[in-house]
Structure 1
Amino acid sequence: MRVIVTRPQREAQQWVLDLSAQGLQAVALPLIEVGPVHDTADVVRAWQHLGDYVGVMFVSGNAVDYFFRSNSALAPVFIGSIATKTRAWATGPGTARALLRQGVAPERLDAPPVDASQLDSEALWQVVGPQVQPGDRVLIVRGGDSLGSAAASSNAAQGAGRDWFANRVMQAGGRPEFVMAYQRGAPEFGSQARELAQQAATDGSVWLFSSTQAVVNLSTCLPGQSWAGARAVATHPRIAAAARQAGFGVVQESRPTLPELVACFKLMQQTAH
């Protein structure tokens, strides 16, 4: 049984290594391409005024990496002992690790507990909601779809978490603001990638989806392909719903931690025999 890892290239390769170390056969088939925004003026402006925010919410590890890439040593607000109220908020452990890699002090970082039932915007709000007082500004660092991206139609689902979070900030009397730190796009499917995807639709492989956009991009890259005989593991109920809507015959849900994903894959492996 192969695991098809659909995350962007860099993350996909790391997941392949981690899953392989657990005795699983894994292969990367990135279904999302990420890159910098063409105009970084808004990100630079956000860095210049970072101390004005009570918290900065990062929607993903890519949001962290591209946001910090645009920092020209303007305001190391999250690092050291600078007296500021600004905190870094992560939606899950991968985003939290990305912040720590950038030098964010652990005591300035908030994230859902690792044993939370979900690791998402809703779980994060349970942790940081009490920090938001009327009039407080909150910055949400996100990605955006490239012009012509195959995932444009999935904007509503893809942004559901961050929009839900922004609504909660407003209900608390706060002022949410967005800044786009990177762009997402659909991959160009070459013959090798196309052949792998078509094989994995019917050969018992298990697709690992951690984004609704990846599901949409797959359907767009292979129009007319039946997924009725394909199996998938999704790391969030919204992603699972997208996979079922795309036609996947078997869809399991798992929290996005390595031990739980490995356990889910091995159980699917056992039940297939």
Structure 2
Amino acid sequence: MRVLVTRPQPQADEWVAMLQALGVDAVALPLLAIDEAPDPAALCRAREAVGRMALVMFVSPSAVERFFDGAEPALVAAFSAPDAPIAGGTGPGTHAALRRAGVPEAAIVTPSPEGGRFDSEALWQRLQSMAIGWRGRRVLIVRGEGGRDWLAETLRSAGAEVAFAEAYRRAAPRLDAPQQALLADALSRPTAHCWLLSSSEAVRQLPALAPSADWSRASALATHERIADTARSLGFGDVEQVDVTPEAVAARVRRSIQSRDPSSRP
């Protein structure tokens, strides 16, 4: 079974490498492209304001990469100051991206891996456990153009002043010839492939890429219940939610292979 990693680049290649190291036949088929920030001047102003924030929340690894890309060293240094803001994120990928950007571990807050849930609600639970008084505090949410507002509304209800920094734009995928061939193979042999889905917006690109496709025999692993619901609404016949780790994905793929072919069991 070949796993189609649909994250945007460069995350897709990173996940492919991690899954291959775990013995999974994985290949990148990004369903979203990440373009430049819609307003570079506004992004620069947001970077300059980091030191005045109590929390800077990054919605994805792409948000981290684009926010720090080309920024002055003072931006990273702001997360090491005595009154440094919290660098928040919703999952292990964002946590890893913050560390690669140079943000110290002590400044990072993400959902606990033991909780098994990686979203804004899980991050809010972690923040609540820190007993922070949010009234009058400033928060910056770094995201793509547009996006979900649940955490912003929750923080505002707690008295925080919330602003957004749009660090990138999500765009339709631009598949090259090998990727188009990969898509065609996945559509012609659905039971030989498994789609690894990490974004509802990415799932919604599929009807444009394959307008006449029958998804009833296709299987998918989704990293959140909302993504799983989006895949089911498109017509995916077999959708299962999985933790956001390569190890969890690899284990689920092995179980699927063994259920189809008992001779492959160790």
Instruction: Please show how residues 52-201 of structure 1 align to structure 2 within 5 Å.
Output: 52-80=52-80, 82-129=81-128, 130-144=131-145, 159-160=147-148, 163-201=149-187
SS at match of 2:95: helix
Preserved CA contact (<8 Å) 1:189 1:221:
no
Instruction: Please show how residues 170-249 of structure 1 align to structure 2 within 5 Å.
Output: 170-203=156-189, 204=191, 205-249=193-237
Matched to 1:264, the amino acid is: R
Cα deviation, residue 38, structure 1: 4.7
SS at match of 1:3: strand
Q: State the alpha-carbon separation in 1 of the partners of residues 69 and 161 from structure 2.
A: 25
Q: State the alpha-carbon separation in 2 of the partners of residues 192 and 49 from structure 1.
A: 43
Preserved CA contact (<8 Å) 1:4 1:207:
yes
Deviates more, 1:228-237 or 1:128-137: 128-137
Q: State the alpha-carbon separation in 1 of the partners of residues 195 and 220 from structure 2.
A: 4
Q: State the alpha-carbon separation in 1 of the partners of residues 249 and 133 from structure 2.
A: 33
Q: Deviations over 1:96-131 (max 9, x none)?
A: 111111111111111111111201111111111332
Aligned-pair Cα RMSD in Å? 1.7
Q: State the alpha-carbon separation in 2 of the partners of residues 208 and 5 from structure 1.
A: 5
1:263 paired with 2:259, answer no
> Structure 1 length normalisation: TM-score?
0.88
Matched to 1:11, the amino acid is: Q
Preserved CA contact (<8 Å) 2:137 2:161:
yes
Matched to 1:188, the amino acid is: R
Cα deviation, residue 260, structure 1: 1.1
Cα deviation, residue 133, structure 1: 1.7
Deviates more, 1:29-38 or 1:228-237: 29-38
Cα deviation, residue 31, structure 1: 0.9
Q: Deviations over 1:28-61 (max 9, x none)?
A: 1111111221531111111222122110000011
Flag the 1:132–1:142 CA change in 2: closer, same or farther, 3 A: farther
SS at match of 1:176: strand
1:18 paired with 2:18, answer yes
SS at match of 2:27: strand
Preserved CA contact (<8 Å) 1:6 1:30:
yes
SS at match of 1:201: helix
Preserved CA contact (<8 Å) 1:78 1:105:
no
Preserved CA contact (<8 Å) 1:79 1:104:
yes
Task: Provide structure 2 residue ranges, at least 5 long, that are not aligned to the other structure.
Answer: 262-266
Which residue is equivalent to 2:8? 8
Runs (4+) off by over 4 Å: none
